[in-house]
Structure 1
């Protein structure tokens, strides 16, 4: 295995990649701290690429504060668009393959069917727009790329919906959760495994792919699943998006079709609730 560089190593997916790389016995993978892996510092990036001479680069670095992005447009654009372009440029110069992590938020969310990779991307938030711009930069600069769109990431690491619900469920008697936004939760450990499987396959089937866990659910049913599996006693009430206004608009339906990634790489993708059980057991064992 040739060297793999991970940017955004301290984030949720970065930590999951570290865990899965250890399990898989992948040793030639390097997780860059922010001081060494600033994707906006082109001089620093040149030094890093010269030092490690990577064959693969995984970009987990992103501006993901969906509502704050509406006010911090230029910062979100620098990180999600310019940062991705910087990595693509460096990869092109040294002959590396870039794995760019993207999002279901590149879609408007009004499709009646699961979204395929060729569906028109029409984001309705600054976050979604800047992530799409990052995809476009990577595609324009570097033919050797895998763009992997994912959704509703959670894990035992960092801040995410599952950990937030468990905390709130232990503190409150009742919660109101949006029930008219439908998508698929994705266990970041599963995504990390898929990314490393794609890399170790040596495949050159470059392009855009969708990856989430199997099935679909609403945020309300996701929360219910979290509380049922964890045996958390809290009343949960469904509400409409209009009853919980946010600065950024979210897709109402962002279920993604995974046929392409499954067929191309022979991946077995777990059902979302099965993976949720695994995650909650991991959280319990860590307590």
Structure 2
């Protein structure tokens, strides 16, 4: 399959001031992140809250400009934000937000909001086209006359999805799209996303902290920690035999009746992105850390099994076996 989107060495800084008269500090929300997304495939991005997943989604869509690095679509750099070329590019890339009620305008009917991107981008609009999009997202045509507060949470998320599909996007970025929904509705929305991908051939970046959901929809999984990807590979490999200590801790927290072994409890809180630890950012919470981990930051690189892992200890045993 051909590559649709490639991000290279993305960095996103937020400059904050501590207190009224405090000094300014830099918070590195995304720190040298690279990823590749093929057409018609799904990359699941997982990690703790605050690790930079949502910021990555906004960078990929061109909603924010990186402080360093580059996003390429079909091999061409993302156009500058706000220009005509950027607006044309945005029609090809859409986002499904975590909170559907917050993503919808409570003053406008669902039909008006689904039709809005069609009008903005000069595409065929009208009640018939709106009805088609609503039905494709699992709603009825009469839902076009309703307002967001008149719909259930699952219906609102379907309305958000119908609006996102209006421009026939090639990439859909789903930022925690099911976390605000009931468990029974979560499965319906995930099945709908997979059906739409199969029918339309869209690529998806599926951002979530729910590993079970990510496993269901993803062709590859990337585990993110403090602004960097620490492990990436096929879902079965990453979730059955995680190589990075942080990935192992995440996987151990998944409830499973047949699982043997104890849950790995991480000590302490994630480090402050404005004050990153030296060496490997995970070493203060890692029970396996050695002296090298405290001084030398590991690089995300391939192992013989094809996975990408950023951990000194994850590479050393395998490299010695290959040698």
Does TM, scored on the shorter chain, surpass 0.5? Answer: no
**Normalised TM-score (structure 2):** 0.28
Larger radius of gyration: 2
- Write 1 or 2 for the structure with the bigger share of helix: 1
**Normalised TM-score (structure 1):** 0.30
